[in-house]
Structure 1
């Protein structure tokens, strides 16, 4: 049973719910307004990208499209053990205690290379909660009955309500969201969840984090396809179906191999779009740390890891799956700083999304620039394909406002609100709603628009056509043509579905 009443509903708020943050923080005193729950003084949690080579975990890369016959036995002969075979893409995952395993296995006929898997660390958010009742003041649309639509400035920026009114809702489209754990019983998501799976060996797809931690995966899923059910928020594609695939632990850490398996699984399950609100900024130099903190020299590591991810993303796009990824949150200028490569955003066939967000929207909603480039977003002419709403937290100070029925910090309302944690009170399942900011929030806006385009065309649309439709309908902001910040433009849902063919 679900609670459809949102008056006095708890809204946990993240200062920053994004992967690979760039060390920014915002000090935040405990508010005096009695309607706001006391919060941590570290309202924005700064995460550090942790790239670590896994010394006993390997990726075997075929020289061609297929692995050698009998790869399991050949790997055993090289003192290793195959743990998973990704035959469709010519990859295998293996473990070994032998420090010479990679060199031995690389000599197998038909094997291109053997490289270490790697782990990375993502977000470590602090959460807070407020009591709120939202009032809908958005232009009339099919989503009006959802109480928190007035707080979804991102929907306004991309003209999502106009797209819904035009009949584009994402029907007959399956979106795979690869992320951390998910609240599988959230009232705004449950009707649209078609399936779920975890590639994190010790954790289920269900988010199992502590009560004071927020669920990054639940947030991205809601932005994509929260149902139009008059309960809380509404997704960009409210009738799309969700395949929720866990490739990051609830604490935000993950292995490269989990992401590879998750992408391949989404293809096997016939997803139309894959959302990747995750990634790693990997240094191009040849010295890395292993799990024990030891410096490892491996000149081929990054090049071969790119080969591995490109095999998987190329396979996905060739099989009709559009892949969308967050560009990263390091404020990196890709035109000047080429010391890192961003995986998966830089992989073959992946559409990379930068982030936009207002500054002081709640202070002057009619004049605030919803398309302002976000302070943390990566940029670069070749690095960015499109921009989408991801929110920001750059507004100075700690002003508290009463905005559209919600009493909140003004800077928090510049972020993206979406689905959050679930609680059960007296047998009733209640979903919360959380604010986050990052390119992790921009990517699902773009993914939702892709789902609208595919649904408008009856489903199953070639990724080249999807990207062409996105490009033809994007609003050209910044410098004319493709530029370093907005790529080929900020995406526009209404224009996309109006022009889609």
Structure 2
């Protein structure tokens, strides 16, 4: 794993990595390499000190602060650059981690790592959202949502346990303070910057993720613990942040007033984030949390269905790692599986996750009083944290190990643990019973969780050693027979939900309305009941909702989703197919497509996900907008593309490895199956313009490295509209928008400057001064695709424009043969290949204003889906 690209993920989700950032002695490999080169460029680093801390409870907070202060004092004059940083306020003290953040050069970091009391020095690595689950609108639920019914939360409420007097730590993208689900129950809030500094105390949510998870913890209608209070830390603004931000948020929710003598911190902490693999950087802060008596509840990750796909910190042996199940109690396809192998400070192979909670199509709060459905271990984790709050409110002072034992020995797998769902789906009444508290009948137990993953790894189980304290009789809640009657009356336990809906002949029930129909591959699908159905073809699962299918075949009646294998002959679809969209899933809402955004900006410059999110959601089917981040998740698999109608490949400010050979091959397979593709990025042509994929699949010829103008005008199938790059409100990151032309059937539908401009009008290689010296330097050494008008006599002026007027000593000749100046000065090329369609934009959509990118995206989608 490339350490400089390690990322934390909301809801968890990615490629495996197992090495630690600080494994090369006490200095990370990247810092060591840079130091050996004599690199004097300042960079943000974490310096962790060795310490010995035997304190327990809140006394640990005071002791940890004192030890860190002592270490800083111990540095003395020998580390003058650190003292200077401390005195100037550039150091952030992360006492929970026994570390500090400060800017150092790699050479300074290497010197500091040699001190005997320094434990590790590593980069302040980035944290960031993973693949986003479908973003779908929803309304406030009527009645008790299934995710609360299935864990037995209502039984705890009926017994008077609602999370009262419990504070839950909430680290996320922020929180909307005015949502009616939990308004008035935010006990404390703080916002932190990338250096770990506290920069604000006004609650806000930068996306919707934090508001959604907060509702699941403490919402009055969607939350598990409706009387609990929230201590919220905004550590991932716009779903991005750093290690220092997360640690600063962790210590804040434990001690929000920064005074260890006052008891105002969280008793349980939810973190719907993680990083794939095993990362020792999280061991110290989590161990300190445990010593303080705080219950850590963390998402296990969305890296499934592969085995050994868990993420840190949820896969730490002592943390409660939470996996996701659907409404039927089956493990979600995306939920990460164990086992997890730790080597280093922790050694052994462990079964993970520890428990499971509902995590598929879960409705909760969205900002501005709205509701939405999301899927992920990001949703399962706060539901589990809310369950812990109920246990603590029922029996205050319960220790961490006792909470774990109660959860693990009462879950649906009857004390047996596997690498799919751990001990199984949590049962709040069952766990209360293990603590000696009666709370009525257990939750309506879904079918026991599936059998263990292919690698059951019987290796050492996590620290809590389940050893079911109470009795040898394992059978917890799941047995449906003799439930101990709800409360005062001797009547049987509450009757199950109404009879299951009925499906067409030959179909089997996959999910009831509101659930998720989870399967792999393609299936014929039907939605409805009793002879009234919508039908289509489904791929790799879908939401069983009216919003997903676009209309209601049986209003007011309990419906279901039904599937059966696809018939051998591809032609005779069982019913009128939904729109001619090539994607195999059922019709979502109206004629809008399902869309996957592949964020391929690799963390360079403006975040394309943040820039394009609103436009995609406005033009995609309800619940049909997804994101895959190549920096944090690696190469996007074909199966992810096949779930949607349109793939948007956005490269942002990346100018190298924009669409790799592996990605090109996957995209060819997607298109061969009838896919639709939109490519957007200012340097795609510069990078891969000579590839067969660019010229043969996209039917595009790369003409010049920059348009020389920010204005483009559409024509033909895209109408006649003018757009301007870098206008106020845009990302402002367009420097080298490609000039492109159609070839072999590709058609230009927008040109630079005017609708019918030719390449002869281009007079500059960049449209503004490039602040990225490395990129500008490469373009000086390797200019590509210059047109004839930009001959040798103009190259000097062009290069000066790139560097802001700085004279250059050398002006190499173009490597690529110049194209004819009469070539079209195209900005967008479309290709209708019959089987598939593509739209290739020579610029990044993020460089347009929100209104403009929304309009151009709609135009592109309309053409792609014809």
Pairwise TM-score range, normalised by the shorter structure: 0.5 to 0.7
What CA deviation, in whole Å up to 9, does each residue of 1:90-123 have, x standing for no partner? 2111112x22122111123411221111003205
Is the 1:188–1:419 contact (alpha carbons within 8 Å) kept by the matching residues of 2?
A: yes
Cα distance between partner residues in 2 of 1:126 and 1:490: 23
| Cα 1:100–1:192 shift into 2, 3 Å | same
1:62-461 equivalences under 5 Å are 62-65=49-52, 66-67=67-68, 68-70=71-73, 75-77=79-81, 81-82=85-86, 83-87=91-95, 89-96=97-104, 98-123=105-130, 127-129=135-137, 132=139, 135-136=142-143, 149=144, 152-200=145-193, 206-207=203-204, 209=206, 214-227=207-220, 233-249=221-237, 251-269=238-256, 270-282=265-277, 306=280, 308-331=281-304, 333-335=306-308, 342-347=311-316, 349-358=318-327, 369=328, 371-381=329-339, 382-391=351-360, 415-422=361-368, 431-457=369-395, 459-461=396-398
Higher strand share: 1
Compare CA radii of gyration and give the structure with the larger one.
Answer: 2
Q: Give the deviation of 1:18 after TM superposition.
A: 5.5
What CA deviation, in whole Å up to 9, does each residue of 1:176-201 have, x standing for no partner? 11111110111111122111111235
The residue number in structure 1 matching 2:649 is none
| Cα 1:376–1:242 shift into 2, 3 Å | same
Cα distance between partner residues in 2 of 1:75 and 1:156: 58
What CA deviation, in whole Å up to 9, does each residue of 1:314-335 have, x standing for no partner? 1111111000000000115444
Is the 2:305–2:333 contact (alpha carbons within 8 Å) kept by the matching residues of 1?
A: no
Q: Give the deviation of 1:85 after TM superposition.
A: 1.6
1:472 pairs with 2:464? no
Is the 1:326–1:352 contact (alpha carbons within 8 Å) kept by the matching residues of 2?
A: yes
Cα distance between partner residues in 2 of 1:346 and 1:80: 38
| Cα 1:162–1:88 shift into 2, 3 Å | closer
Computed over aligned residues only, the root mean square deviation of the Cα atoms, in angstroms, reads 2.8
Cα distance between partner residues in 2 of 1:134 and 1:78: 54
Cα distance between partner residues in 2 of 1:447 and 1:220: 10
Q: Give the deviation of 1:267 after TM superposition.
A: 2.0
Q: Find the residue that maps to 1:244 and give its secondary structure.
A: strand
Cα distance between partner residues in 2 of 1:125 and 1:334: 20
Cα distance between partner residues in 2 of 1:281 and 1:168: 36
1:463 pairs with 2:463? no
Considering Cα pairs closer than 8 Å and 6+ residues apart, tell me whether 1 or 2 has the greater RCO: 1
Q: Give the deviation of 1:342 after TM superposition.
A: 2.2
| Cα 1:489–1:205 shift into 2, 3 Å | farther
Q: Find the residue that maps to 2:335 and give its secondary structure.
A: coil
Cα distance between partner residues in 2 of 1:351 and 1:260: 18
Cα distance between partner residues in 2 of 1:332 and 1:103: 40
Q: Give the deviation of 1:158 after TM superposition.
A: 0.5
Cα distance between partner residues in 2 of 1:309 and 1:447: 19
Q: Which ranges of structure 2 fall in alignment gaps of 5 or more residues?
A: 1-8, 16-20, 22-27, 32-41, 53-66, 257-264, 340-350, 437-866
Is the 2:128–2:236 contact (alpha carbons within 8 Å) kept by the matching residues of 1?
A: no
Is the 1:222–1:419 contact (alpha carbons within 8 Å) kept by the matching residues of 2?
A: yes
Is the 1:189–1:222 contact (alpha carbons within 8 Å) kept by the matching residues of 2?
A: yes
Q: Find the residue that maps to 1:114 and give its secondary structure.
A: strand
How many residue pairs match? The answer is 361
The residue number in structure 2 matching 1:11 is none
Q: Give the deviation of 1:58 after TM superposition.
A: 1.1
Q: Find the residue that maps to 1:81 and give its secondary structure.
A: helix
Cα distance between partner residues in 2 of 1:63 and 1:208: 36
What CA deviation, in whole Å up to 9, does each residue of 1:443-496 have, x standing for no partner? 011101101111101x2332111111111221117xx71111111121111212
| Cα 1:328–1:125 shift into 2, 3 Å | closer
Is the 1:192–1:226 contact (alpha carbons within 8 Å) kept by the matching residues of 2?
A: no
- After the TM superposition, list the runs of 4 or more consecutive aligned residues in structure 1 that deviate by more than 6 angstroms: 51-55
Q: Give the deviation of 1:89 after TM superposition.
A: 4.1
Q: Give the deviation of 1:497 after TM superposition.
A: 2.1
What CA deviation, in whole Å up to 9, does each residue of 1:200-222 have, x standing for no partner? 3577663354xxxx510111111
Cα distance between partner residues in 1 of 2:390 and 2:140: 29
| Cα 1:127–1:87 shift into 2, 3 Å | closer
Q: For 2:428, which of 472, 487, 493 is the aligned residue? A: 493
Is the 2:365–2:371 contact (alpha carbons within 8 Å) kept by the matching residues of 1?
A: yes
Is the 1:58–1:117 contact (alpha carbons within 8 Å) kept by the matching residues of 2?
A: yes
Is the 2:408–2:423 contact (alpha carbons within 8 Å) kept by the matching residues of 1?
A: yes
Q: Find the residue that maps to 1:279 and give its secondary structure.
A: strand
Is the 2:324–2:331 contact (alpha carbons within 8 Å) kept by the matching residues of 1?
A: yes
Q: Find the residue that maps to 1:103 and give its secondary structure.
A: helix
The residue number in structure 2 matching 1:481 is 416
What CA deviation, in whole Å up to 9, does each residue of 1:343-372 have, x standing for no partner? 2113353110010013xxxxxxxxxx2x01
Is the 1:60–1:91 contact (alpha carbons within 8 Å) kept by the matching residues of 2?
A: yes
| Cα 1:69–1:22 shift into 2, 3 Å | closer
Q: Which ranges of structure 1 fall in alignment gaps of 5 or more residues?
A: 1-16, 24-50, 137-148, 228-232, 285-301, 359-368, 392-414, 423-430
Cα distance between partner residues in 2 of 1:112 and 1:134: 50
What CA deviation, in whole Å up to 9, does each residue of 1:251-274 have, x standing for no partner? 211211111121122222421000
Q: Find the residue that maps to 1:112 and give its secondary structure.
A: strand
What CA deviation, in whole Å up to 9, does each residue of 1:230-285 have, x standing for no partner? xxx33101111111111111x21121111112112222242100000111115x7x
